[in-house]
Structure 1
Amino acid sequence: MSLASKITLGASVVIATATVFGVHYKKSYDQKRLKQGVVKDLERQERKRRNREELQHQIELTQRLEMQRDQQEGTSKHKS
């Protein structure tokens, strides 16, 4: 086997091996990113749910305070 053939064969083996490892690494990396995306989506949904609950709570508090204010204004007008 000539020197050029050995170099070509060696380079081909190195390139093929690097390609196989590169593909496996990318597949593993992509799977991890996909899983992280699902986890982030679940966290985002949970935050959104908590925010909606907090908003509803704030709306209820505002309504109660407005009712109390209206009642106090009504009683102070009757006293005057």
Structure 2
Amino acid sequence: MSKNSRAVLAVSALLSVATVVAVHVQQRRERERLHSGVLRDLERQRQKKENIRLLEEQIALTKQLMEEREKARMEEGSQQS
């Protein structure tokens, strides 16, 4: 085998190996990106549930406050009579 053919074979083999490695690295990055997307979605869902819980708690507290104010107004009205 001539030196030129050996060089071409070596370069071809190196390019093939480099291509395979690059594809594997790209696939790993893509897998990690997809996984981080799932984690972000789970965090968003958790945050949404927490926001809904806080909103319901706030609604309940507001309702309780309104009832207490109404009760206080009624007591003031009955004391003035």
Q: TM-score range by the shorter chain?
A: 0.7 to 0.9
Give the distance between the partners of 1:3 and 1:73, measured in 2 at CA. 103
Q: Which consecutive unaligned segments of at least 5 residues does structure 1 have?
A: none
Deviation at 1:7, TM superposition (A): 3.1
Deviation at 1:67, TM superposition (A): 0.7
Structure-2 residue corresponding to 1:19: 19
Q: Please list, as runs of the form range in 1=range in 2, the aligned pairs for 1:1-80 lying within 5 A after superposition.
A: 1-80=1-80
Query: RMSD across aligned C-alpha pairs, in angstroms?
Result: 1.5
Give the distance between the partners of 2:76 and 2:2, measured in 1 at CA. 108
Deviation at 1:29, TM superposition (A): 1.4
Aligned residues: 80
Give the distance between the partners of 1:4 and 1:70, measured in 2 at CA. 97
Identity of aligned pairs, percent?
35
Q: Which consecutive unaligned segments of at least 5 residues does structure 2 have?
A: none
Deviation at 1:51, TM superposition (A): 1.1
Give the distance between the partners of 1:75 and 1:51, measured in 2 at CA. 36
Give the distance between the partners of 1:15 and 1:62, measured in 2 at CA. 69
Per-residue CA deviations over 1:15-39 (Å, capped at 9, x if unaligned) read 1111100001111111122112112
TM-score (norm 1): 0.84
